Homo-oligomer: A and B are copies of this chain.
Amino acid sequence: MADAPVSIREVAALAGVSVGTVSNVLNRPDAVAESTRSRVQAAIKSLGFIRNESARQLRAGRSRTIGLVVLDVANPFFTDVARGVEDAASESGLAVILCNSDDQQAKESRYLELLEEHRVQGILITPVYGADERLARLQRRGTPVVLVDSRSPSRGQCSVSVDDVLGGDLAVSHLLAVGHERIAFVGGPMSIRQVADRRDGAVRALERADGTASDLYVIETPALNVSAGQQAGAALAELPAETRPTAVFCANDLLALGVLQEMTAHRIRVPENVALVGYDDIDFAAAAAVPLSSVRQPRHQLGRSAAQLLIDETLGEQAHQHRQVVFEPELVIRRSSQAQRRRPRRPKRSALAAGALAAGASEAVG
């Protein structure tokens, strides 16, 4: 049933030229005379010739592929990053092998080895904790590595990340601006760098507000999912209304949605009684029972520029300077954090639309 695979050799035979010429038609079309070129192209078409990428790679010494290793493909954050990577890669004619480490060292190692065997141009990775040594070895052997959503400690490589401290600052500054003074932070575990950074940003905003506001009321959660949010929400609901925080900043949207549900269950109105800001701006944030204000990360852009850095590195060779790109998150304001009182400050409907407060990226060369 299957036709025999056809090689460049048979194309050459049919077109009555040498294999070298066919190769030229494929790779340097203008180095070959019009008439031969079209003859060869006709032969390619009639035989249904398809280049053998393995042979090509073998000769070239490296593949036209990059590897992307993420912690969890099911997480929307990473799928968006992946799309960004893919876009940038395909513009440069590169394919992407997407690997899923599931936050397990063993799977990560297996994939790194696989990618190295494939002689990929480079690897984009959000490493599992403690992967530094393996990555360094990889790099020593000649495979460029770019860190995604984590900063390079050693400056020995490129990295892209988002400024989580700024994100926390933006969220809380907004809550302060709307008039809140008792503000809570819900998130955890604090061992996750991103969570701790967001909290620190919240603290920074409060400190800048010179004392009119009280200290940050922190509820540390065991995880970053909806049910952890519900538990935190229940804890908040039990506080007497006079001392209960009037605004809550959550380390991610799932937590915020959990808090929101619990507020509703206790007949505490959002945003009238409690304002709410989440983080990540997942698709459902805008569609929640009360549309959720949230700090948005440039996920797609994160992936795109990671890929771009890698491509630069492979092209630049000797001239390449490792760079640490840090993106700024932006705050998207929706109903959950608007109008603390019944009489809205801005009665116009358009005020409910999303508003970007900050954008762009900063860089550090190392």
Contacts and interface: CB of A to CB of B under 8 A. Distances in A.
Nearest to A80: B74
Interface stretch (A12-20, A94-102, A184-192, A235-243): A94-102
A2 B100 contact: no
Q: Count chain B CB atoms within 10 A of each CB in A58, A61, A82, A83 and give the residue with the most.
A: A58
A63 B5 CA distance: 14
Contacts of A48: 141
Given A5-B142, A142-B5, A287-B257, A100 B116 contact: no
Given A79-B74, A113-B50, A58 B61 contact: no
A301 to B, nearest CB: 15
B58 A54 contact: yes
Contacts of A114: 95
Interface in A27-75: 48, 50-55, 57-58, 61, 63, 73-74
Interface residues of A, number: 49
A284 interface: yes
A261 interface: yes
B79 A73 contact: yes
Interface in A276-304: 284, 287, 289
Contacts of A113: 50
A261 B290 CA distance: 9
Nearest to A97: B97
A67 B36 CA distance: 35
Contacts of A53: 117-119
Nearest to A51: B117
Contacts of A140: 1-3
A284 B292 CA distance: 15
Contacts of A289: 261, 264, 289
27 contacts: A2-B140, A5-B61, A48-B141, A50-B113, A50-B116, A50-B117, A50-B141, A51-B117, A52-B119, A53-B117, A53-B118, A54-B54, A54-B58, A58-B58, A73-B79, A73-B83, A74-B76, A74-B80, A83-B100, A86-B100, A95-B118, A97-B98, A257-B284, A257-B287, A261-B287, A261-B289, A284-B284
